[in-house]
Structure 1
C-alpha cells in the first residue's frame, strides 16, 4: 500500500461519531463560470482575460481552452438534476461578467442575464439554494485593456456590475459572494505569471491588491443595499505557508508569501488594516478613507483549502519568492499535491481565532486522472479517502470551537482547471469532454450517503 493511501485510510472515526453539526448546516457543490459553461462566443458573450490567456502561447497546458468546457450553458438542466440526485442543499456558482456585460460596462446582454435566471430558477425548483459568486477570475478583456485591476476605476466598474446582478437576482438569491480567491488571481495574474492576465510587475500587483479590496467593499455595500436579507461572504484561499527546508532565505520568502497569500485581503476586509509588510509597500496607493471603504460588515468567511504551501527564495521572481517542494516523504494525492489533513483543522481554528466569524468551507477536494473502467464506472477511492479524512478534521475543528456552517465539494464536474487545462480532474462527476457524457463517480455516491447520514444525526 502506498504511503498516500495508508494515511488517507485512517480518518478519525471518533470525530465523525461524536460531533453533531448544526441543524442548518449546508452541504453543497461548487463550480465556476469559465470552467464549465463553454458557449464562449454565443448569445452576445464578450471575451474575458481567460479567453485571451488560452490563446497565448504557453498560457494553458496543451493549448486547452474554455470555449466548450462542460457545455453547461446548454446542459445546465442535466447538471441540476445531478445535484438533485446528490441531495445537496446548495449550489455555489459564479456569473461570467462578460456574459452579462460584454465590454464590462455599458450595454447589458439580456441573453446572458436570462441564462442565469434559468440556472437560478432551475436550482430552486430542485430544492437547491443558489449561492452566487460575483467574480471568479473572468475579467472582461475590454476592462483589462483599460488597465484592469491595476486601474483604481475597476473597483467602480465592479460595483456597477454587482449592482446589476443584485437588482436582477436579489429577489431569489440571498447568499452572495463578492470574490473567489483574491490572493490567487492577483498573485498569479500580476506577479507570478501563471494565470490571466499573465503580468509580472510588483507595482501592478500592489495596485491590484488594493483595488480588488476596494471593489470587495463596494460590492458588499451595493448588495446590502439592494438585496433585503442578503447573507454576504467572500471566499479566501488560505493555507499555511512553510519554508522549503530551514535555510534563512527560504524562511524569509515564506514570511513574505504568507502576507501576500493569507493576509493581504482577509486583514483589511475584516480587521480594517493591512499586515505590516503589505501596509508599507501598498501605502502609496491608499487614499484617505480607503480602509473604511474596504472593511464592511460581513456575515461569514468562505474558506477554500487543499493543503499548505511551501516557499523558497527565487531571485528570478518579482518578489524574490517562488513555490517550493513539500518534504519528499509527504503523502500526495492524484495530481501530486501534498496531503496534510491536520493543516485543514488548524486553518479552521486559526480563522476562528483571528477573525471571530462563522465559516463556510466553499472548496475542498482532490484531483486525479480518473478514467472509467471496462464497465464505464469510475472507482475513485483516493478521492473518497481524502474527503472522508478532511471531513473528519472538520469535525475535530468544530469540537475545538470552530463555527463551521457549511461544506462544499470542489467540484461537481470535471472541468477546465485553468492553466492545467483538462488534465486534472477534480469532479465527483466524470465528464467525457469528447461526448459531454456525465458519469457520477464512486465519490458522488459516497458524498450523497454522507449528506444523508449527517442529516439523520442532526
Structure 2
C-alpha cells in the first residue's frame, strides 16, 4: 500500500465551531449566533460565543499542528467576520485575523485550504431572504471576490461550499440546525438551485480575481452505500443506491447526484427531474452553464455508510446491520468500507481528483488520572478507514488527500459541546489543549506516509 510522496495529510475545522467571538472584533451576526439563543435548540444551552477561542489562540493551535506534522489545514472563513452585513463594508479586523492565520500557517510549513462557506450565513442576508433570494448568487460571488483579493497571493486551494445537503436539509427542511425552519418543499428546491448557482459564481469570481493560479473544489457529503459482497450485481446495486434521488418523504436533500451531477456533469439527474418535477423552480441553460464551472478537484465528507445487495426483484435492497454493530459516541455506525466504495463510485462517475474533506469519530474522551487522553477507539477507527483509502488508491482511484475531522474538540452544532471529535482535547473551562493519543498516532502515520498502517 502506497499513499505516495504528494498525498496531503490534513485536518479540518470550521469557523463558528472553534473561533469564538471577541468583544469589538467587528464581526456581524451569522445565523448560528442568533439560533443558539433560542431556548431548547442546542444541547444544554451551549453557544459558540467562546468555543475554542481560536480567534485569540490560533498561534497555539498552529504550533500543535506543526508538532503533529500536519501538512494541510482546511478551515472556513466566517462570511460575517469579514463582511458584517454580508455585503458592503469590509471588517478590517476580520481580514487581519485571517491574514495572520494564513501567515502563521505558512511560516510553520502548513498549507491553508480555505472553505468559503461552512454554514455561517450572515444574519443580515438571512433577513433579506438568504438562500431563497436569488440575489445571494451575486452576494456570494462578491464575497468570493474579496477572499480572492485579500488572500490568493498566498492561498491557492479553495472549497466553495461545505455539505449543502446539511445546511439546506437540516437548516430549512428538518429545522434542527440554524436557522431552524421547516420550509415548504418547493422553497427548499429553490434554495438548493440558488446554492449551486452561488457555487458557480464563487468559482468564477475566485478565478477572475486570484493573484496567481489557484485550484477550486467543492465539498458535499452523503451516506455511502457499499455492496454486501463483491458480486457484480451487488456492486451495481450499491452504485445505483449511492446515486439515487430519494423520495421526498425520506428527506430529499440527503443524496449525492442532485448536488454533484449539475456541478460536475452539467445537468441535474433525470431521476430527480422526474421525481421532483412539481417542486422545481425554472431552470435555464444559462443556470446550468454557471453551475458547471470547471473544477480542479472534488471533495467529499464521508463518515459512514450502509450495506446494499441486489434484491430478487432486480432493485437495490438494504441489508440490516449485524446485531451489536460498532458505533461511535454519536451512535453513527463504524463502516470503514465507505471510504473504499465511496471514493471508487465517485471517481468512476465524476472523473475528478478526490479529497476526503472530512472523516473522523466522536468518542467519550476524558482526561485520565495520568493527565493524558487515551482514545484507542479513535485510533482503531482511523486505522481501519485509512486502510480503505489506501486500498482505493492502490486500485487507481485518484485520491489526493485526507482531512481528519477534527483538529480539536469543538462546538458540534445542535449537540453543543457534548460530542468530541478532536485529535486534541479542549478543556472548555480553562481552554487548555491536550493532544490525545490519536493525535500522536496520526503524527506517526504522517511521518511514515501511511506505511505503518
Give the TM-score normalised by the residue count of structure 1. Answer: 0.87
Q: Which residue of 1 aligns with 2:148?
A: 166
2:262 maps to 1:276: no
Q: Following the alignment from structure 2 to structure 1, what is the Cα–Cα distance between the partners of residues 193 and 146?
A: 23
Deviation per CA, 1:36-71, whole angstroms, max 9, x where unpaired? 000165411111100111011222111110000000
Equivalent position to 2:329, from 321, 326, 334: 334
The residue correspondences of 1:283-432 to structure 2 (distance < 5 A) are: 283-308=280-305, 328-432=323-427
Gaps of 5+ in 1: 1-18, 243-250, 311-324
CA pair 40-292 structure 1, distance change in 2 beyond 3 A: farther
Q: Following the alignment from structure 1 to structure 2, what is the Cα–Cα distance between the partners of residues 281 and 383?
A: 45
Q: Following the alignment from structure 1 to structure 2, what is the Cα–Cα distance between the partners of residues 241 and 160?
A: 37
User: How far 1:449 sits from its partner (Å)?
Assistant: 0.3
Say if 1:331 and 1:339, in contact at 8 Å, map to a contact too.
Answer: yes
Say if 2:15 and 2:78, in contact at 8 Å, map to a contact too.
Answer: yes
Say if 2:225 and 2:338, in contact at 8 Å, map to a contact too.
Answer: no
User: How far 1:446 sits from its partner (Å)?
Assistant: 0.2
Deviation per CA, 1:147-172, whole angstroms, max 9, x where unpaired? 00011111110000010010000100
Q: Following the alignment from structure 1 to structure 2, what is the Cα–Cα distance between the partners of residues 284 and 100?
A: 32
User: How far 1:225 sits from its partner (Å)?
Assistant: 1.4
SS at match of 1:121: helix
Deviation per CA, 1:105-144, whole angstroms, max 9, x where unpaired? 0111000000000000000000111101111101000000
Say if 1:152 and 1:211, in contact at 8 Å, map to a contact too.
Answer: yes
Say if 2:328 and 2:334, in contact at 8 Å, map to a contact too.
Answer: yes
User: How far 1:327 sits from its partner (Å)?
Assistant: 5.9
SS at match of 1:430: strand
Say if 2:119 and 2:167, in contact at 8 Å, map to a contact too.
Answer: yes
Equivalent position to 2:56, from 74, 96, 110: 74
Equivalent position to 1:264, from 230, 248, 258: 258
Equivalent position to 1:447, from 439, 442, 449: 442
Equivalent position to 1:209, from 188, 192, 217: 192
User: How far 1:284 sits from its partner (Å)?
Assistant: 2.5
Q: Following the alignment from structure 1 to structure 2, what is the Cα–Cα distance between the partners of residues 156 and 234?
A: 18
Q: Following the alignment from structure 2 to structure 1, what is the Cα–Cα distance between the partners of residues 258 and 99?
A: 34
Gaps of 5+ in 2: 227-244, 308-319
The residue correspondences of 1:140-219 to structure 2 (distance < 5 A) are: 140-201=122-183, 202-219=185-202
CA pair 144-309 structure 1, distance change in 2 beyond 3 A: farther
Q: Which residue of 2 aligns with 1:230?
A: 214
Give the number of aligned pairs: 420
The residue correspondences of 1:43-122 to structure 2 (distance < 5 A) are: 43-122=25-104
Deviation per CA, 1:229-279, whole angstroms, max 9, x where unpaired? 10111111132369xxxxxxxx97599657742122111000111123533
SS at match of 2:449: helix
Q: Following the alignment from structure 1 to structure 2, what is the Cα–Cα distance between the partners of residues 167 and 39?
A: 24
User: How far 1:211 sits from its partner (Å)?
Assistant: 0.3
Q: Give runs of ≥4 in structure 1 deviating > 4 Å.
A: 251-260, 325-328
CA pair 383-42 structure 1, distance change in 2 beyond 3 A: farther
CA pair 400-165 structure 1, distance change in 2 beyond 3 A: same
Question: Please, what is the CA RMSD of the aligned residues?
Answer: 2.3
Equivalent position to 1:221, from 187, 194, 204: 204
SS at match of 1:361: strand
Q: Which residue of 1 aligns with 2:224?
A: 240
User: How far 1:308 sits from its partner (Å)?
Assistant: 2.0
CA pair 382-406 structure 1, distance change in 2 beyond 3 A: same
Q: Following the alignment from structure 1 to structure 2, what is the Cα–Cα distance between the partners of residues 240 and 253?
A: 17
User: How far 1:369 sits from its partner (Å)?
Assistant: 1.9
Give the TM-score normalised by the residue count of structure 2. Answer: 0.88
